[in-house]
């Protein structure tokens, strides 16, 4: 039974989409697969229209009045495709077990009861590096890290690598990391330059399959279906089918010597486990403040603001509103520095009224804004 966590603390990089559709494509390839939803947001559970009354919380919690065995909460989705649902209570486990010795082994212990009932267990992790993700990594043989080719989206991967190294060193558990490119938009020039940088940075860890941006993946999620059930001929279905094939080939063919592969991760960090974890968790919980962007562009038809805060994605959430000759947008940003640009009728440009900027390595400048708690 191969256990693979889909993890990246960066939100919205395709963890749940990858989890659901990788499980579906592994299942149609004849593998018995369990999808374990470990995200208290329960997107995989709700996305597949499953009952979330019971969850992994009922298996791990010691104070729940409804204690259950893992096998009792498993629901069938399709042929070869089962799910362990999640719900909001899963988010309370970190606090409940804060003082418990061996708390990072909870999921490992729960999964050991399955013996070899499945060929694959795929764990959909939450967008954080706390207790749940540590449990998932400890329980896994491999970590698949979805990375978008938008600028700077790879930065957070280093923190995840630190955790993987900590678990290897402190808990004596090496895992094989693999990086999966998701939401690759071949219409954008920077997708290709980022792809080159990712290839250099992650080298052997990079999976050959690339998941392209495909609206059918979004639509299938809204419909509560896997992409192969929604439209099996679309690009998204083909990409996840290819990913399943690649993974099966890796596991059947030339098996990576796991310890050696895990050694390829960045060198061990020196920090103690608890302070490191605390620092990361507190970083995740930075203060969020509304921040207003303003651009004078009387003749523009459409203006967006994109930056390090939204992985440089151009979507509805960062479309600016016209107000006379200006364009306005107020976004909730964490405290700290953010890089950004405006996209005016499809053309990227820095903020002409902001003196703080820096070269972004793509031949143009990013503006820099610093959000501080005093600015509220
Ligand atoms: N390849 C893709 N093409 C188009 N849309 C995509 C693609 N992958 C994911 N999406 C969409 O992007 C959004 C975020 O994806 P998803 O929920 O899988 O990310 P996530 O990493 O699980 O997010 P979270 O961190 O909140 O758990 C969703 O609306 C999803 O439908
Ligand atoms: Mg998710």
260/309 same-domain check:
no
Distance 330 CA to ligand 2 centre (A): 25
- Return the ligand 1 atom nearest residue 222 CA: 31
State in Å: Cα 81 to ligand 2 middle: 18
Q: How far is the CA of 233 from the centre of ligand 1 (A)?
A: 20
At residue 332, does pLDDT exceed 90? no
Q: Sorting pLDDT into bands at 50, 70 and 90, what band is 307?
A: confident
76: CATH: 3.40.50.300
Among 248, 281, 314, give the residue marking a domain's end. 281
Q: Provide mean pLDDT across the span 159-185.
A: 89
215-232 confidence digits (pLDDT tens): 999 999 989 899 999 998
Q: What is the pTM of this model?
A: 0.71
- Is residue 15 within 6 Å of ligand 1 at its C-beta? yes
Q: 238: Cβ below 6 Å to ligand 1?
A: no
**Residues 313 and 269 placed together within one structural domain of the fold:** no
Total structural domains in the chain? 2
> What's the gap in Å between 125 CA and the centre of ligand 2?
7
Instruction: List pLDDT tens digits, range 44-68.
Output: 999 998 999 999 999 999 999 999 9
pLDDT tens digits for range 113-171: 998 899 999 999 999 888 999 999 999 999 999 999 865 567 778 888 888 988 888 88
Look at residues 233, 265, 281 and tell me which one is the last residue of a structural domain. Answer: 281
| HEC assignment per residue over the chain | CEEEEECCCCCCCCHHHHHHHHHHHHHHCCCCEEEEECCCCCHHHHHCCCCCCCCHHHHHCCCCCCCCCHHHHCEEEECCEEEECCCHHHHHHHHHCCCCCCHHHHHHHHHHCCCCCCCEEEEECCCCCCHHHHHHHHHCCEEEEEEECCCCCCCCHHHHHHHHHHHHHHCCCCCEEEEEEEEECCCCHHHHHHHHHHHHHHHHHEEEEEEECCHHHHHHHHCCCCHHHHCCCCHHHHHHHHHHHHHHHHHHCCCCCHHHHHHCCCCCCCCCHHHHHHHHHHHHCCCEEEEEEEEECCCCCCEEEEEHHHCCCCCHHHECEEECCEEEEEEEEECEEEEEEEEECCEEECCCCCCCEEECCCCCEEEEEEECHHHC
pLDDT at 317 over 80: no
Going from the Cα of 202 to the center of ligand 2, the distance in angstroms, rounded, reads 23
- Looking at residue 307, which CATH number applies to its domain? 2.60.40.10
Judge if the beta carbon of residue 91 lies within 6 A of ligand 1. Answer: no
CB-ligand 1 contact for 211 (6 Å cutoff)? yes
Pair 24, 39 in one domain: yes
Q: Is 43 in the pocket of ligand 1 (CB under 6 A)?
A: yes
- For residues 154 and 298, membership in a common domain is answered with no
301 and 327 share one domain: yes
Most confident of 174-178, 324-328, 331-335: 174-178
- CA-CA distance, 243 to 108, in Å (whole number)? 25
The total number of residues written for the chain in this structure:
376
Task: Examine the fold and report which residue of 257, 281, 305 is the final residue of a domain before the chain moves on.
Answer: 281
| 182, 261: one domain | yes
Same-domain check for residues 252 and 291: no
- Which one has a higher pLDDT value, 205 or 192? 205
40 CB near ligand 1 (under 6 Å): no
- On whether both 47 and 181 belong to a single domain, the answer is yes
65 and 121 in a single domain? The answer is yes
Same domain, 110 and 38: yes
Q: Is the CB of 183 under 6 A from ligand 1?
A: yes
Q: Left if phi > 0, otherwise alpha if psi is -120 to 50, otherwise beta: which for 255?
A: beta
Same domain for 81 and 230, yes or no, is yes
Do 259 and 351 have their domain in common? no
Give the confidence band of 28 by pLDDT, cuts at 50, 70, 90: very high
Q: Structural domain of residue 162, as residue ranges?
A: 2-281
């Amino acid at each position: 039974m191969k256990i693979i966590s889909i993890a990246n603390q960066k939100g919205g990089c395709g963890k749940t989409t990858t989890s659901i559709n990788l499980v579906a494509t592994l299942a149609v390839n004849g593998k018995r697969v369990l999808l374990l939803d470990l995200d208290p947001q329960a997107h995989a559970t709700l996305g597949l229209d499953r009952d979330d009354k019971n969850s992994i919380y009922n298996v791990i919690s010691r104070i729940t009045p409804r204690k259950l065995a893992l096998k009792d909460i498993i629901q069938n989705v399709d042929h070869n495709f089962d799910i362990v649902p999640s719900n909001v209570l899963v988010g309370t486990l970190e606090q409940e077990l804060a003082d418990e010795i061996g708390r990072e082994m909870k999921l490992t212990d729960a999964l050991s009861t399955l013996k070899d009932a499945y060929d694959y267990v795929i764990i959909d992790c939450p967008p954080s590096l706390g207790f749940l993700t540590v449990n998932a990594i400890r329980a896994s043989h491999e970590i698949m890290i979805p990375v978008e080719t938008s600028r700077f989206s790879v930065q957070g991967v280093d923190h995840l690598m630190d955790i993987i190294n900590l678990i290897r060193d402190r808990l004596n558990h090496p895992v094989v990391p693999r990086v999966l490119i998701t939401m690759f938009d071949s219409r954008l020039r920077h997708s290709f330059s980022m792809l080159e940088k990712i290839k250099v940075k992650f080298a052997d860890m990079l999976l050959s399959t690339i998941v392209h941006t495909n609206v059918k993946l979004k639509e299938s999620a809204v419909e509560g279906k896997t992409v192969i059930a929604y439209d099996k001929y679309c690009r998204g279905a083909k990409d996840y089918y290819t990913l399943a094939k690649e993974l099966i080939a890796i596991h059947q063919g030339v098996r990576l010597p796991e310890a050696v592969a895990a050694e390829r991760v960045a060198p061990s960090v020196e920090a103690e486990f608890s302070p490191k974890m605390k620092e990361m968790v507190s970083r995740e919980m930075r203060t969020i403040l509304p921040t207003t962007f303003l651009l004078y562009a009387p003749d523009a038809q459409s203006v967006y603001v994109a930056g390090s805060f939204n992985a440089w994605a151009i979507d509805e959430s960062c479309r600016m509103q016209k107000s006379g000759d200006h364009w306005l947008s107020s976004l909730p940003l964490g405290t700290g520095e953010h890089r950004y640009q405006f996209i005016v009728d499809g053309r990227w440009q820095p903020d002409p009224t902001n003196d703080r900027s820096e070269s972004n390595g793509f031949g143009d400048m990013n503006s820099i804004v610093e959000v501080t708690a005093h600015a509220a």
